[in-house]
Structure 1
Amino acid sequence: MEQLRAVPGLRERSRGVFYRKSQAFLRFHEDPKGLFADLRDAAGKNFDRFNISAETGKAALVTTARTRMQG
């Protein structure tokens, strides 16, 4: 979460819900299969789901979020 909070232009409006400008960009949720993050896709229309229960998923989420914020 600290790495995501440091991404320029990404604002956490409520705990675990991040916005880019006025649009929801990233949100976290838990279900029986684990902890997940939904990140808005590059086209800005849908969300891609990341399983962040493992370190590889967390790293992929942060990398992808940074890339999409630049684009």
Structure 2
Amino acid sequence: MKHAGPQALDQLEPVLAKLRKLEGLRERKRGAFYRGASAFLHFHEDPAGFFADLKVADDFVRFPVNRGAEVERLLARAARALKG
């Protein structure tokens, strides 16, 4: 599964816009978010759709982000991880 390229990120722009509003995140490169100096969230594209890898504790957890409910689940989990 490859990292999301420019066209994939164009399609994910509404998700990226919501993530940019979360306090404590910095987007170093389009679609690659950091918490402090540590990688926190990035995206992949695959024939099965789009996926986000979110750092939860010490590991990355993969979330599908192809439907509204999936995006909301990712945003909620990211917000919780930033608070914890």
The TM-score by the shorter chain falls in which range? over 0.9
- Cα RMSD of the aligned pairs, angstroms, is 0.7
- Per the alignment, residue 23 of structure 1 pairs with 38
Paired residue secondary structure (2:28):
strand
Higher helix share goes to which structure? 2
Deviation at 1:7, TM superposition (A): 0.6
Unaligned regions of 5+ residues in structure 1, if any?
Answer: none
Superimposed CA distance per residue, residues 1-60 of structure 1 (whole angstroms, 9 cap, x where no aligned partner): 11110111100000100000000000011011100000001x2x2111110011111000
Unaligned regions of 5+ residues in structure 2, if any?
Answer: 1-15
- Tell me how many residue pairs correspond in the alignment: 69
CA distance in 2, matches of 1:9, 1:68: 10
Deviation at 1:67, TM superposition (A): 0.8
Percent of aligned pairs sharing the same letter: 46
